[in-house]
Structure 1
Amino acid sequence: MEYRRLGASGLSVSEISHGNWLTHAGGAACVEAALDAGITTFHTAAAWDGGAAEENLAAALAHARRDDLVVCTGIFWPEGPGPNEAGLSRKHLRTSLHGSLRRLRTDYIDVYQLLRFDYRTPLDETFLALSDLVRQGKILYAGTAEWTAEQLLEAKPIAERHGVPLVANQPHYSMLWRVAEAQVMPVCERAGIGQFASVALAQGVLTGKYRPGHIPPDSRAAVPGEARKAVWPLLMPDLIERVGMLRGVADEAGLTMAQLALAWALQHATVASVVTGASNPAQVTENAKASGITLDLDVLTQIDQLLGSFVQTDPRLTWSPPASG
């Protein structure tokens, strides 16, 4: 495993991070495999499965040395029915963070992520609250996820004014979804903000497991729930056929399809780490081997030619939900 600095900060993160959004249940073996592979960076969130994702991650990491880990959790999504149990208000930041600290069995969070932009709450309020938490030692760094370039440009000077080290952004970023490249990544590079690239396997589509007319019975697309909703829009026959053609590119490079996809995301200069989940330890071990790989121009060109018009680049697709309530 190789490590990179996160933005302009002094924090080192593993090139492959382990996330537990849809794969936290029974994930202790996956976390163990991640630690064995040298993965030090772990992502979760307060709202995932009513807090169970954080609890399961804490249990799986209980034997690890805390100083060796970079623990990232985040806030935005509803954590209860109350009007103050979602978003980025001062009140929700305080209550949600304390809940996360309790569930994660730690006294600080390495990177506290604002998982979407909150149109209802002034940025000054959000970053003043974060400033208090930084001074108290409860969070070390702050990050965002799926924020637009304009939102990041507005937030960075406010964060600096309040003494909040805003050093990370987490966009959806893959061979197929490159909407962050045109605006978000250049803005982040100038601002010293590094990328935690997420959904780099396109919900498993870029692993090659799906074939035209065939959905593996143990795949996300076959199981009802959030996982199926996330992957189903990507299962277009023409797209699946094009992705299948990447198998030859991966074979020629001596990589699995998953390793090719993860290594591709790591080629971008602003990407510090790629966040990926796994449903079994073998997948974690396979994914970790994407670290340290350099893809030559020939390989990158073949990927672009094969995927062609299926690549999405429109920066307007960086999206946060509108205010509710």
Structure 2
Amino acid sequence: MSPPLLDIRHIYLEPGVEAYARGQEILARFPDAQRTEVRSHQNIPGLHGNAGLVKEWVRIKRQVLVLGVRKTFALRENGRSADWIAPGLANGCALACAYCYVPRHKGFANPITTFVNTGDALRALRRHAEKLGPKPEPNQVDPERWVYDIGENSDLSVDALLSGNVRDLVALYRELPNAKASFATKYVNRDLLGYDPAGKTRVRFSLMPQRVARVLDVRTSPMRERIAAIGDFVEAGYEVHLNFSPVVIYEGWTADYTELLREVRDAVPERARRQLAAEVIFLTHNEALHEVNLGWHPRAERLLWRPEWQEAKRSQYGGQNLRYRYGFKGKAVARFTELLARELPECPVRYAF
């Protein structure tokens, strides 16, 4: 039997966490966990920036939890996966996908950080939506409503194992007439089927061929389980899209994606297939993450780090990224969208790059 996804044994918490009902709720779930008060969730001595912990990458994700109080609630315009990126109620993840960009900003340990001042976030999101008013015209994100990505830096299906934050977010957008929520996930949490989203939350199930997912999507739900959940989530009132991100190029990738798309076509009920749409994002890797991965999962880098197909590009944050070469990538994007149109014609592409 595989170990549980979460087995919280050590909780780092900022001052004031216990003053919030959500903080009390989470602490009560793990009464035997060691507690250490820290000044900031963003810089925990001995945890963040400790290169010696890279070998403990997965153990820390399973056993460590950070609780904080979010200080700012700024929103960012997006235009791709959503109209707006919402201030998240969590950061970091118990999953261990080898390509995830979040660890680049957190040093050598990336457990879940959960924010307990849920009410502050909900009020900020409500004010923002009310100020926007009706969406003036359709766009590729959504034809009718403003869409808020509520899970940019975490996986909300996993966050829902810890607290009621995700349920509260789904309830908020159920009430907002001009807005809907959206989040991508690689984990099937069937408790979400009881949240009554009323069509106002979009779940984007991330898919990739299982052969490479076994290497790259560490600690996630198997692809077959994700595909099987699509119809159930549609029946429960969610809008469900497909998130092909990242698309990783390797020898035989098109044959593997053809098989994956046929599995979706055969396993997903017609009603659910008719409401699908897809976003397609090819891999962007990072030099710093490459070094981290070499410390705990070098096998993944044989898929992710392919300099013969990649070119360097300086990120907006100053890091050294590797993306598939211009021209090479364009042909790959065209090939993928052709495959999708052929094998799953009910599923339009919202954007691909």
Fold shared per TM-score above 0.5 = no
Structure with the greater alpha carbon radius of gyration: 2
Higher strand share: 2
Kindly indicate which of the two structures has a greater share of residues assigned to helix: 1
The normalised TM-score by structure 1 is 0.41
